[in-house]
Structure 1
Amino acid sequence: MDRELLAISSKHLYLYVIYENNEPVEVRIEYKDIIKQSGNIYKGKIKRLIPAMNAAFVDIGEDREAFLPIKDIEECKNLKVGSPIVVQVKRAPINTKGAKLTCKITLPGKYLVLMPTVNSISISSKIEDTSQREAVKERIKNILKPFNEENYGFIIRTVAATATDEAIIDDFLNLKHLWENIISRSKHKRTPSLLFEENHKIFSILRDYAGEFSKIVIDNVYLIKEIKEYIIKNFPNSRIKLELYKNPKISPYSYYQLDKLIGKILSPYVWLRNGGYIVIEETEALVAIDVNSGSHCKHKSLEETAYHTNVEAAIEIARQLRLRDLGGIIIIDFIDMKSEERKKALIEFFKSEVKKDKRPVKIKEFTELGLLELTRKKMEESLISQLSDMCEYCKGKGFIKNTALVLFEIENKIN
C-alpha cells in the first residue's frame, strides 16, 4: 500500500491529510492556540469526590473540571479533596462534557506503549494468531527483563513483531526516561500544571503508522526541519521522501482540492459507486448510519441487491469512520437481509475492513431489529465538530421554523 501525508499550515492551525493509494482516509486538525488535551499528562488537584458516581472531579488548569472514574483504580482510593494527583487525559472535552481522566498512564512509542503505573503486559489485538502472540510476548518480555527493574507494564505494538532486540530495548529505555522526567517535573511544578504534551500531532501520526509513509508534503520550512529531525531520530532506516510545497501560483489547499474533501466530510450523505448511498448522523449519545440501495438494481433479487450494496457500504463506512474520526457508540442500519449466512459474512468482511483503522473498533452482532452495533475509541470531538460551529438560527437542532409558523406567531403576538 502506498501511503502519503500532506501537512498544511496557516496562522491558526495545521491540517494533516493521510492518503492511501491516492485516496484520503484521515484528516486531522491541530489548532495552534489550543492545547491538544488528549494524551496530555497533568499534575491536577482533586476538587470534588462524588461517592455515588464513584468518581472525582479534578482541576487540571482548564476551563472545566475533568472527570476521573476511580472504580478499580487502587492508587486513587485514598484521595482527598485538595490532594495532588498525576493524571492523563483519556478523552478530550466534548460539547458540555469535561475531559475524562485516568490514573493509568500510557506513553506510546514506536514498538511499545509504556504503562508505568501498572505491571501487566499485553499485545496488540491486530496480531491474531494465538501462537504468534504468545511467542512475541514471551520474546519481548525476556528482552526487557534486565532493563525493567520497576516492573513497568507495557503494550506490545504490531510492528514490534518484526523489530530487532536493540530497537525494542532502545524504545523502552526512551519511554522509561520520558516517564522519569515527567515524575521529576511533577515534584517541582505547581498544582495544577501541564507535565507532558507532544509538540505536534504529526509526530503521533508518524509514530502510529511506524513511519510507513512513502512521501510527506509540507508547506512550512520550519516544520519540515522538525519532521526531518524526528524521522532521523526515530526512523533512521526510513525511506520517507520529504517534499517542500513551493508552487506560488496556487495554495496547497486549492491544489489538493481540500475544500471539496471537507465539503464532503461536512455532508451527511455519502454516495457509493454502485448507486447506493449512506447517511451519517451524529447525536449526543451515538452515531447513526443508514444504508440505502438508491439506484442500485443490477442483481436478480432483493437479497442479492441488499448484500452487494451492504458490502460496498461496509467498505465506505470503515473509511468514513477514520475520515470523520467518528467514535463512541455507532449503530449501522444495513439493508435488511434474511440469510443468516450473509449477515455473518458481512460482519466478517466489515471486521477485515476496520483492521486498517489505528483506533480500536469492536463489532458486535446484529440486533433483533437488524441493526449492527459497534464501538470505536473516542479520543476527541469528531472532525465535523472540530470544523464547524453551531448554527445561529437553529441552535444545533438541525431545523428552523417554517414561514407559515413564523407568520402565525407574529399574527398572534400582534393580536
Structure 2
Amino acid sequence: MESHIGVSRKIENEGERQRLRRIVEEFNQKNEGVIVRTAGVGKSRAELQADLEFLRSLWQKIRQKAEGLKGPALVQKDLDLVFRLFRDLFTRDVARLVVDSPPEYERCLEFTESLFPDLRSLLYLYTEDEPIFKSFGIEKEIEKALRPKVWLKSGGYIVVEETEALVSIDVNTGRYVGKHDFEETVFRTNLEAAREIARQVRLRDLGGIIIIDFIDMARQEHRDKVVIELKEVLKPDRSPTNVSLLSDLGLVEMTRKRVKQGLIRSISQACPACGGTGAVRALPSIAHQILREVEWQLYRRKPPQVRIRAHPDVTAWLKAEEAEVIEALQQQYGGEISLAAEESWPPAKYQLQEG
C-alpha cells in the first residue's frame, strides 16, 4: 500500500488545500493514507497532529481486538458521547475534565491512560451533593442561552434573533453612554460585542447566514479594528466561518457551517399558544371576532340561544367591555347570549354553541 494524502473537494480555497497537504506530509507515515475533511479548515499544525495520533492509536486498538476475535464479531462501533468529547475537545488547552459518574470516570481513566497518558492529571471525579450542572452554573447558562438579549459587562447588550432564512444580531449601547467621547464609547461597545458574539455563536451553535448590526462608527480605523477583532475571536471555532467587511450601515455578514440543529431548536419546542411566532392575538381582537360570528349566527339561523365558550380572560373582557354590544345584539335579534369560561383553553380558542 502506498502513502496517500487527500483533501476534501469541498475545501475550495487552493491556498488552504496546499497548507493542509504540507502539514499532513510532515506526519504521514509509510503505507498510511490520510484524508483531510472540511472540519480541518483553519486548524493548526498541533491540532491536526493530535487528531492523526488519535486515529493511529485507535487503529492499533482495532487491529489488536480483531486479531483476538473469532468471526462473526463486532470489531468497532462509533464512539459514544464521552469518547467523542475526548476525540474532539480534550486537549492540553482544557484545564480539567470533571465527571460525576464513577463508572464513566473509570472508562475515562482507561481511555486516557491508553491514548493520552500525559492528560491523566486533568481528570476529576465529582463527589459533591449538589448536582454538577447546578454547581458549575451550567443550568443558568442554558437559561441565558434561550433568551434573545445578552447583556455586556459595560452595560450594553446584543439581541440574537433566529429565523428560517438567517440569524440577526443587533448591538446596542444600552446603559453604557461613556463619559466624554461618544465615538470611543461606540467603538468600545462594538469591540466587546464582537467578543461576546463569537462566544454566543459557538454556545448557541448558530449556523448559516449571520447578519451583525454593529453600532454605527464614524472612523474607518474603528470599523477595521472591530472586524479584525471579530475574525480573531472566531478562530478557535471548530466550524468554518467567513466574515465580510463592515458596510457603511454598520452591517457585517458572516457565514458559519451548519453541522446540526442549533441549541435553541434542540432543547426547546414551539409555544403551544402562539405556535412559535412569539405573539398571540390581543383580547379585544378575539372578542370582536367572536361577536361578529355571534351576530352572523343570530341573523342567519335565529337560534334561541348562543353560548360563547372561551378562555376566562376573553369572557371577562366580553362582560366588562362589550356588555352594551351583547345587549344590543340580544335586543336586535331576539336570541340570548351566554358566556362560559374554559380554564384549560388557550386565549385564542373559542366555540359557539346554539341552544
Fold shared by both chains (TM-score > 0.5): yes
Unaligned runs of 5+ in 2: 66-71, 296-355
Pick the aligned partner of 2:80 from 187, 199, 209. 199
* Structure 1 equivalent of residue 266 of structure 2: 386
Pairing 1:274–2:274 present: no
| Structure-2 separation of matches of 1:176 and 1:371 | 50
Distance 1:386 1:170, change over 3 A: closer
1:154 aligned residue:
36
Does the CA-based 8 Å contact 2:5-2:25 persist in structure 1? Answer: no
Find the aligned partners of 1:174 and 1:334 in 2 and give their Cα distance: 46
On the 8 A contact 1:216/1:240 being kept in 2, the answer is no
Shift of 1:225: 1.8
> For residues 259 and 395 of structure 1, do their structure 2 counterparts lie closer, same or farther at Cα, with a shift above 3 Å needed?
same
Alpha-carbon contact 2:54-2:115 (below 8 Å) kept = no
Structure 2 match to 1:233 = 114
Matches within 5 A, 1:64-213: 119-120=6-7, 137-138=21-22, 140-141=24-25, 143-148=27-32, 152-154=34-36, 157-160=43-46, 171-172=55-56, 174=58, 197-200=78-81, 202-212=82-92, 213=94
Quote the offset at 1:392 in angstroms: 0.3
Tell me, yes or no, if the aligned pair for 1:318 and 1:350 is still in contact at 8 Å.
yes
Higher strand share: 1
* 1:158 CA drift (Å): 2.2
Compute the displacement of 1:147 (Å): 1.9
How far does residue 302 in structure 1 lie from its aligned partner after superposition? 3.0
- Name the aligned partner's letter for residue 232 of structure 1: E
Bigger relative contact order (CA 8 A; separation at least 6): 1
Q: Deviations over 1:30-83 (max 9, x none)?
A: xxxxxxxxxxxxxxxxxxxxxxxxxxxxxxxxxxxxxxxxxxxxxxxxxxxxxx
Q: Flag the 1:176–1:329 CA change in 2: closer, same or farther, 3 A.
A: farther
In the alignment, what sits opposite 2:96? 215
Distance of 2:98 and 2:54 partners within structure 1: 29
Query: Distance between the aligned counterparts of 1:369 and 1:117, measured in 2?
Result: 48
The offset of 1:143, in angstroms, is: 4.5
Q: C-alpha separation between the residues in 1 aligned to 2:101 and 2:253?
A: 42
Amino acid at match of 1:119: G
Deviation at 1:169, TM superposition (A): 6.3
In 1, Cα distance between equivalents of 2:243 and 2:212: 11
* Letter matched to residue 6 of structure 2: N
Identity of aligned residues (%): 32
Whether 1:401 and 2:287 are equivalent positions in the alignment is: no
Q: CA RMSD in A?
A: 3.5
Classify 1:240/1:389 alpha carbon distance in 2 versus 1 (closer, same or farther; 3 Å).
farther
Q: Which residue of 1 aligns with 2:142?
A: 262
Distance in 2 between residues matched to 1:121 and 1:281, nearest whole Å: 33
**Per-residue CA shift, 1:277-327, capped at 9, x if unaligned?**
100011111111000011111142332221111011111111111111111
Between the aligned partners of 2:239 and 2:114, the Cα distance in structure 1 is 25
Secondary structure of 1:233's partner?
Answer: helix
Amino acid at match of 1:154: V
**1:170 & 1:275 partners in 2: Cα distance?**
44
The aligned residue for residue 332 of structure 2 is none
With over 3 angstroms needed to count, the CA separation of the structure-2 counterparts of 1:394 and 1:204, relative to structure 1, is same
Contact preservation (8 Å) 1:324, 1:384: yes
Q: Please, what TM-score do these two structures have when normalized by structure 2?
A: 0.67
Match of 1:314 among 171, 180, 194: 194
- For residues 9-43 of structure 1, what are the alpha-carbon distances to aligned partners after superposition, in whole Å with 9 as ceiling and x for unaligned? xxxxxxxxxxxxxxxxxxxxxxxxxxxxxxxxxxx
Q: Which residue in the other structure is 1:374 paired with?
A: 254
Distance in 1 (alpha carbons) for counterparts of 2:236 and 2:121? 20
1:317-342 Cα shifts (integer Å, max 9, x gaps): 11111111111111100001122221
- Stretches of structure 1 that go unaligned for 5 or more consecutive residues are 1-115, 182-187, 189-194
- Decide which structure has the larger Cα Rg and report it: 2
Deviation at 1:118, TM superposition (A): 8.0
